[in-house]
Structure 1
Amino acid sequence: MEIITLYCSVLLSILFLSTGLDKFLHFYKHVVSTRKYDLIPARFIKIVIALMGTLELYVSIGLLIKTWKESAGLVAIVLLIIYTYAMVHQMRKGSKNLNCGCGGLIGDQEITWKSIARNAVLIMGVVVTYIFPQEFMMNSILPTYLSSILIILITSISLKMIEFKKIENVK
């Protein structure tokens, strides 16, 4: 079982890293995509996307660190449930030609029941990493190094948000 847990942890970590980075590298693409869902008031969309991207980056690191595993697993499950709810909501409304807005390795595919099933499989993968022990997890100086990188990322994101606020005030 440990090899399955390892596989799920690494795969999910890479997946969340790619989607989290994509939210910052293609920020305005995600703003447009999220607006089309019509679930979040327009004034909060940029903050929500920055928060989602930050949480996805946290999950990508946390799934590989023993002391962060539980919180990262919970965050991953909550994010995936939120994303899945939004897709199901749009499917039930009959929305056409709406992409998932996932980005990263998943890409930006049109929402279908297959994308909802994919999220269900991802949730099961997180549950596997959350439930079963992983002896391989990093316990050395690496968590300190990674947490430093996370703090730098969060600081950079905060500075970007301030920059976005200044741009909005100019308009």
Structure 2
Amino acid sequence: MYSIYWMSNFLIIFLIFIFSTSALDKAINFKKSIVTLSNFGIKKNYAQIALVFLLVVEFYIAISLKLMGVTLINLLFITIFFSTVSVVIFINIKNGKKNISCGCGGILENDNLSYSIIIRNIIFILISLCLYDKELDISNAHLIIIFIVIASIGLINLSIKNLKNFKKNMIKVIEKLQ
């Protein structure tokens, strides 16, 4: 019984981490995220509005999962979110647009669209269904440590991505100066 309790807490923390790092990455790279949404066929003006909406939804889900666990409202938001994203990815794959970023952000970022992203999203929905009506209880110190480790890995991953982008931009600047 304890292992099921531990596993459900870990999965809720994992979902919180997924949504918070995704939103954080989109917020940090706001202009790049607008370009990514534009690559999906969304006009730039609408892409900005869509991005703000996505950020609000992702932060809301992360915070509400932390505060309330997987409630019916959270389950609906998660299901609608991942279903909508999957439909958009499916349409773009069918239209031959595979060589664009998925726009997921965070640790989920992928430079090419594929059906594996859709399968991953379905798995997240199924995980959420399994966790329905479970509250997060981080009274145990080991769960807090696990969250800190996962968060640290995610932040290191974001830092590495930003350093790579910084390096590319510096090379471009140097080339222009020569």
TM-score higher than 0.5 here? yes
CA contact (8 A) 2:12 2:69 kept: no
Describe how 1:120-135 pairs up with structure 2 within 5 A. Answer: 120-130=122-132, 132-134=133-135
Partner of 2:27: 24
Aligned-CA RMSD value: 2.1
- Aligned structure 1 segments of 4 or more residues deviating by more than 4 angstroms: none
Find the partner of 2:18 among 12, 15, 18.
Answer: 15
| 1:19-54: CA deviation from partner (whole Å, max 9, x where unpaired) | 01111110111100111111x343211011011011
Partner of 2:112: 110
Partner of 2:7: 4
CA contact (8 A) 1:33 1:99 kept: yes
Find the partner of 1:61 among 45, 63, 83.
Answer: 63
Describe how 1:80-119 pairs up with structure 2 within 5 A. Answer: 80-119=82-121
CA contact (8 A) 2:16 2:61 kept: yes
Cα distance change, pair 135–20 in 1 and its aligned pair in 2 (3 A): closer
Give distance in 1, aligned partners of 2:88 and 2:28: 22
CA contact (8 A) 2:101 2:109 kept: no
Give distance in 2, aligned partners of 1:102 and 1:67: 22
SS at match of 2:76: helix
Q: TM-score, normalised by structure 1?
A: 0.71
| 1:101-156: CA deviation from partner (whole Å, max 9, x where unpaired) | 111111233111111111111111121222x4337279xxxxxxxxxxxxxxxxxx
Give distance in 2, aligned partners of 1:133 and 1:37: 35
TM-superposed deviation, 1:92:
1.3
Cα distance change, pair 50–92 in 1 and its aligned pair in 2 (3 A): same
* Deviates most, 10-19 or 55-64: 55-64
Unaligned residue ranges in structure 1 (runs of 5+): 139-171
Give distance in 1, aligned partners of 2:27 and 2:95: 29
Number of residue-to-residue matches in the alignment: 136
Give distance in 1, aligned partners of 2:69 and 2:98: 42
Residue identity over aligned pairs, in percent, reads 21
CA contact (8 A) 1:8 1:128 kept: no
TM-superposed deviation, 1:11:
0.3
Unaligned residue ranges in structure 2 (runs of 5+): 140-178
